[in-house]
Amino acid sequence: MKDLLIKNAVVVSPADGLNEKDGKTDILIKDGVIAELGKIQADNAEVIDADGLFAVPGFVDMHVHLRDPGQTQKEDIITGCKAAAAGGVTSLLAMPNTAPTTDNADVVGYILDKAKDADSRVYVAASITKGLKSEEPTCLDELKSAGAIALSDDGRPVENTKFLSEAMKRAPQLKMKVVAHCEDLYLADGGKINEGEVSQKLGVKGIPASAEDCGTGREIALAAALDVPIHICHVSTKTSVALVRDAKRRGVKVTAETAPHYFSLTEKELLRGDADYRMNPPLRTQSDVDAIIEGLQDGTLDAIATDHAPHTVQDKADFVTAPNGSIGMETSFAVGCTYLVKSGLLSLSELVRKMSTNPADILGINAGRICKGAPADIALIDANEKWTVDENKLHGKSKNTPFKGRTLCGKVKKTIMGGRVVFDE
């Protein structure tokens, strides 16, 4: 592999004390690793002039549905990683609600083998129960040996609290992370959108915020009682934010993520009657959005992940019967930059911390930094470029983005993974 020299970039790497107020610097990459930072001359290196751009550690999306195996008409590992690269994502955690479920060593091995040639690093979250049915626990030692780094029944909560408890106790010994989909299915009761003003207006069955809140409360109670870590997925309600904040104050080992649509969109988008705005948890109220933003500002919410959930146009054709989910990896940085950084709610460094450094630390993977010896996983971004989201120009198989047609600020220009340019606008 030829040496690569990035010239004139402003490096933003919060873990290394580098921020957007620092001057330009160069980054020399050798054999897929960052070899040197500073003012560098390298006669035999390929040169990328990053003048006017920020170099940030490649984003770590800790909540992605690749649909592979089993639903590759929606996405597959290769196309999903192309979408990741186009969004500056160099590491992602693949959720287990595949077909068959990622509940055994063979499926874990299949995913990791297929991902070897992909444009992003793929890490695997295996399921806590077989088939996500909460009827029989999986063999956690087998899943760990096969290469899984996290455990979740995401797509569904673990209904059997005993199975969740046992996984939470065992996971730290295996150096795995439990990432929890928090939902009380009895309260959700087959609802489609947030229960409230919009659901009443549309005559569509709603999901009360309490469905998420009760699930969040259960997971936090277990983490507190067992004195073990838990990571809360896709927080969308003001009460869940408050529960996580209180738990952290009490010393509970809890971390939490939200998604771009939860700090930028409200349930009013659903008045369009477009199923691309339907996801689970659903879009909530403005007061929930405000609480999510406050949680990002004060550190209650550690990470921003996308819950990238591809579906075909045919899947999403009917507003009421369509499956939940929206894609998000290609727009995640831009939405964060537009709604958080440009509005003065977070600095660029704080956004990078939420999208790269913190998720890497939560998962315990070697990512989220630009320093000597670190993997050369870097996104070059223009924080000021405006662009309009055209779903037909995105790089994955599916087009179900809730940001279609929106003008956003902040563009990924190049993505480098392991010293290889995997995306070049």
Q: Which residues are catalytic?
A: 307
Contact 296, 223 (CB under 8 A): no
**What single-letter DSSP state applies at residue 43?**
T
- Asked if residue 281 has a cis previous peptide bond (ω within 30° of 0), the answer is yes
Structure tokens at 264: 């930028």
Structure tokens at 293: 């933003």
Contact 137, 165 (CB under 8 A): no
**Pairing mode of beta strands 206-207, 193-194:** parallel
Q: Which of 70, 74, 72, 90 is nearest to 82 (CA)?
A: 90
What residue spans of 227-367 are helical by DSSP H?
238-249, 286-298, 332-336, 348-352, 358-363
CA dist 305 and 64 (Å) reads 8
The b/e string for 317-349 (b: 16+ C-beta within 10 A; e otherwise) is eebeebebbbbbbbbbbbbbbbbbbbeebbbbb
Contact 391, 383 (CB under 8 A): no
Based on C-alpha coordinates, what's the Rg of the chain?
A: 20
Instruction: Let me know the angle formed at the C-alpha of 368 by 374 and 24, rounded to the nearest 5 degrees.
Output: 75
Contact 418, 94 (CB under 8 A): no
Structure tokens at 349: 């460094």
Structure tokens at 271: 């008045």
